[in-house]
């Protein structure tokens, strides 16, 4: 299934678009990414392991430094409990494929997705990072009173 940071859920993975994505592995040196990549409508960043946080920095580089405006997709090895972190780091969607569903059931993924997109507040907030679905960071909330 495909989970979206705006709260939407697609229960089956679309076949066509994901196959044509630009795939960047989480361990890629962001400096090696050329500006060509910015023209791609979807960029998929693959996480080699749930404990390997390099994909977050690659995402941030694309999204914030290079101002990539397309769809950022996370795939590979992840835990349901990391969904909120992925959305906060700027990913628009997360690919939950057969391999991930073998480790955690669809219910686990959907519950985690609901927790961070719909139930609030949950343990997903940070001070400096804007949360999912346009929610403000704690620092922004303080400024706006």
Partner 1 sequence: MYQYDKLDQALVDARTREFRDQVNRRLAGTLTEEEFKPLRLMNGLYLQLHAYMLRVAIPYGVMSSRQMHQLAFIADKYDRGYGHFTTRQNIQFNWPQLVETPDILDDLATVQMHAIQTSGNCIRNVTTDPFAGVAADESVDPRAVCELLRQWSTGMPEFSYLPRKFKFALTGATADRAAIKFHDIGLQLKRGADGQTLTDIWVGGGQGRTPRIAQLLKQNIAVEDLLPYLDAVMRVYNLYGNRDNKYKARIKILVASLGLDVFAAKVEAEFTRADRSRFDGVTDTLARIESRITVPDYKLSANADEASQSLASKRAADPAFDAWVKTNVFEHIQQGYRIAVISLKPVGGIPGDASSDQMRLVARLAETFSSAEIRVTHRQNLVLPHVALQHLHELWMQLCGAGLAESNVDLPSDIIACPGLDYCALAKARSIPVAQQLSSQLRGREANNNLTGLSINISGCINACGHHHVASVGILGLEKKGVETYQITLGGRNNLDASVGEVLGPGFSADEVPQAVNQLVDTWVQRREAQESFSDTYDRVGKQVFAEAVYAAP
Which residues of the chain form contacts with partner 1 (CB under 8 A)? 29-30, 50-54, 56-58, 60-61, 64-65, 67, 79, 81, 84-86, 88-89, 103-105, 108, 115, 121-129, 137-139, 141-143
Question: What CA dihedral angle connects 34, 83, 71 and 127, to 10 degrees?
Answer: -80
State which residue, 17 or 110, has the beta carbon closest to partner 1: 110
Q: How far apart are CA 117 and CA 36, in angstroms?
A: 32
- Quote the least distance from Cβ 20 to partner 1, whole Å: 27
Contact between residue 43 and residue 59 where contact means Cβ atoms under 8 Å apart: no
State which residue, 17 or 60, has the beta carbon closest to partner 1: 60
- Quote the least distance from Cβ 46 to partner 1, whole Å: 14
Nearest Cα neighbor of 80 from 136, 124, 135, 137 is 124
Contact between residue 102 and residue 72 where contact means Cβ atoms under 8 Å apart: no
- Quote the least distance from Cβ 123 to partner 1, whole Å: 3
């Amino acid at each position: 299934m495909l989970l979206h940071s705006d709260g939407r859920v697609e229960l089956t993975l679309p076949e066509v678009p994901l196959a044509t994505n630009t795939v960047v592995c989480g361990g890629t040196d962001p400096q090696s990414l050329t500006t060509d990549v910015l023209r791609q409508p979807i960029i998929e960043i693959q996480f080699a392991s749930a404990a390997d946080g390099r994909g977050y920095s690659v995402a941030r580089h694309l999204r914030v430094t290079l101002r990539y405006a397309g769809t950022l997709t996370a795939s590979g090895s992840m835990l349901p409990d990391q969904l909120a972190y992925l959305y906060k780091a700027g990913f628009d969607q997360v690919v939950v494929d057969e391999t991930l569903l073998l480790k955690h059931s669809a219910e686990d993924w959907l519950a985690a997705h609901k927790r961070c997109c719909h139930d609030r507040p949950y343990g997903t907030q940070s001070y400096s990072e804007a949360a999912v679905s346009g929610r403000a960071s704690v620092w922004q909330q303080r400024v706006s009173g």
